[in-house]
Amino acid sequence: MLFNSIDFVIFLPIVFLLYWFVANKNYKHQNILLLIASYIFYGNWDWRFLFLIIFSSILDFLLGIKLSKETKKSKRKTLLFISVLSNLGLLGLFKYFNFFIDNFISVFSFFGEQIEYNTLEIILPIGISFYTFQTLSYTTDVYRKKLEPTKDFIAFSVFVAFFPQLVAGPIERAKQLLPQFYKKKTFDLTKAKEGLHLIIWGMFKKIVIADSCAIYANEIFSKYENMNSLTLLLGAIYFAFQIYGDFSGYSDIAIGTSKLFGVDLMRNFKYPYFSRSIAEFWRRWHISLSTWFRDYLYIPLGGSKGSKWLNIRNVFIIFIVSGFWHGANWTFIAWGVLNAFYFTPLLLKNKNRAYLRDIEEGRLFLSFKEFYGIVITFFLTTIGWIFFRSNTITDALLYIKRLFTFNFNGSLQYLSIERYAPELMILVGGFVIIEWFIKKREHPFYGKFVGFKLTLILLGIILLGNFSNVNDFIYFQF
């Protein structure tokens, strides 16, 4: 079920009313309703894959209890290994099986050995990368004795399958989210308004910004061989805003929807395109995933301790794994490697911890150094997105090669493709200006004239939204 679908528009008010007016006796009734609603939400896509979520929930719930009772270190490691192997094994089967088979065969073909084979028709369950990491963090934290295991299976199942963030995050930690399902919620009008504001702002990002940019990004990337440099540059920029509006819009809707049910989720984006360095960008982009890799992979590898070479090794491992997490394609791995190369000079110069103070805490206007840092960081990130968007590494390299031929021809070739192409440039520019002025907040509906602001955004969604077809959120495929 998509947030931007009629099904969800009907689904959400029904669950909201049942939650606050029928299941409001105690937290257990509320949890049961949320669990049923979450399974309906996910099963609307393909009910068969509910068994994967239920299996993960049962497995890690039981392993958590077993870990709390076991004292022998070797047996505790075995229990954690079972959790890791089972969860990553399922993820690997559904997401990476054909990738490894195809590349295994390609290696033999390179040496002249022809092997007959058939790949499996495997459907990728949406959200599997997200809830897999969520359950893994639970068993890992119990193993590290940083978290007491729950004995409430319903509450744990809701933690795993909570529908607002089930299919594309944020990737929540049990320490933060699970305790919220141990107590009865009381309706908070202020929190509900905050949630509605986030939902509306997220819808604007998705339907107006992301889906409009997608029209041109898709067209330009599909015909890049015939496009001049200026058009290719705009195509890459439009994809940068497509993926940002799409994914941060989803996160806003997820966080806002959760607030309607009295549940707080972590912030997942913090205006990443205002970052002054690549290191700052990764502290602001997909925060729940970046911090997950930091806590469960980077630090166990040694983090920033040890020699610079070990530090660099750890950085490359993190970015390569992050790239591979996004999909079974060499383009994602190349994207990860490129970001590791971006990050390495900052590490060597001990500047990776620069700009820990948020830019929104400073002046309204930037210094030249800050402005230059933002422009360069955005440019480097946009070049990286070309690998992320392209079908193959060859396509990405050819796209970049044509981009740097500086063949402008004095025209924008794509202006006749679809509707309001010149207006889209103004729209994206206006969106950047709005975000700059609201960068101390999560959405623009603060302060005075809230009703006026809401009316403008809603009119923007109605008049400028791309309603020609319902577009999936990009991160559903991950």
- Indicate whether 14 pLDDT > 70: yes
455 token code pair: 């009316």
Q: Is 326 a catalytic residue?
A: yes
The per-residue pLDDT for 294 is 93
The per-residue pLDDT for 363 is 61
- Indicate whether 6 pLDDT > 60: yes
Instruction: Determine which of 45-49, 60-64, 188-192 has the lowest per-residue pLDDT on average.
Output: 45-49
Instruction: Determine which of 189-193, 304-308, 323-327, 363-367 has the lowest per-residue pLDDT on average.
Output: 363-367
Residue 395's contacts (CB-CB under 8 Å, 6 or more residues apart) are: 224
For the whole model, what pTM was predicted?
0.91
Find where tokens 């809707």 sit: 253
Percent of the chain exceeding pLDDT 90 equals: 63
Percent of the chain exceeding pLDDT 70 equals: 89
Three-state SS sequence of the chain: CCCCCHHHHHHHHHHHHHHHHCCCCCHHHHHHHHHHHHHHHHHHHHHHHHHHHHHHHHHHHHHHHHHHHCCCHHHHHHHHHHHHHHHHHHHHHHHHHHHHHHHHHHHHHHCCCCCCCCCCCCCCCCCHHHHHHHHHHHHHHHHCCCCCCCCCHHHHHHHHHCHHHCCCCCCCCHHHHHHHHCCCCCCCHHHHHHHHHHHHHHHHHHHHHHHHHHHHHHHHHHCHHHCCHHHHHHHHHHHHHHHHHHHHHHHHHHHHHHHHCCCCCCCCCCCHHHCCCHHHHHHHCCHHHHHHHHHHHHHHHCCCCCCHHHHHHHHHHHHHHHHHHHCCCHHHHHHHHHHHHHHHHHHHCCCCCCCCCCHHHCCCCCCHHHHHHHHHHHHHHHHHHHHHHCCCHHHHHHHHHHHCCCCCCCCCCCCCCCCCHHHHHHHHHHHHHHHHHCCCCCCCCCCCCHHHHHHHHHHHHHHHCCCCCCCCCHHHHC
Average pLDDT over residues 421-445: 88
145-181 burial string, b = 16+ CB within 10 Å, else e?
eebebbebebbbbbbbbbbbbbbbbbbbbbeebbebb
Instruction: Determine which of 143-152, 251-260, 265-274, 415-424 has the lowest per-residue pLDDT on average.
Output: 415-424
Average pLDDT over residues 169-194: 93
The per-residue pLDDT for 76 is 94
Residue 435: count other Cβ atoms within 10 Å of its Cβ: 16
- Indicate whether 195 pLDDT > 80: yes
**What confidence tens digit (pLDDT) does each residue in 55-104 have?**
999 999 999 999 999 889 999 999 999 999 999 998 888 887 766 676 66
The per-residue pLDDT for 25 is 87
60 token code pair: 């890690």
Average pLDDT over residues 335-359: 90
**What confidence tens digit (pLDDT) does each residue in 380-399 have?**
999 999 999 999 999 999 99
- Indicate whether 1 pLDDT > 90: no
- Indicate whether 121 pLDDT > 70: no
For the chain, give every domain's residue range.
Answer: 6-187, 191-276+355-477
Instruction: Label residue 110 by pLDDT band (50, 70, 90).
Output: low
Catalytic entry in 197, 286, 326, 443: 326
142/94: higher pLDDT: 142
262 vs 254: CA distance, rounded Å? 13
| Mean pLDDT, the chain, whole residue set | 88
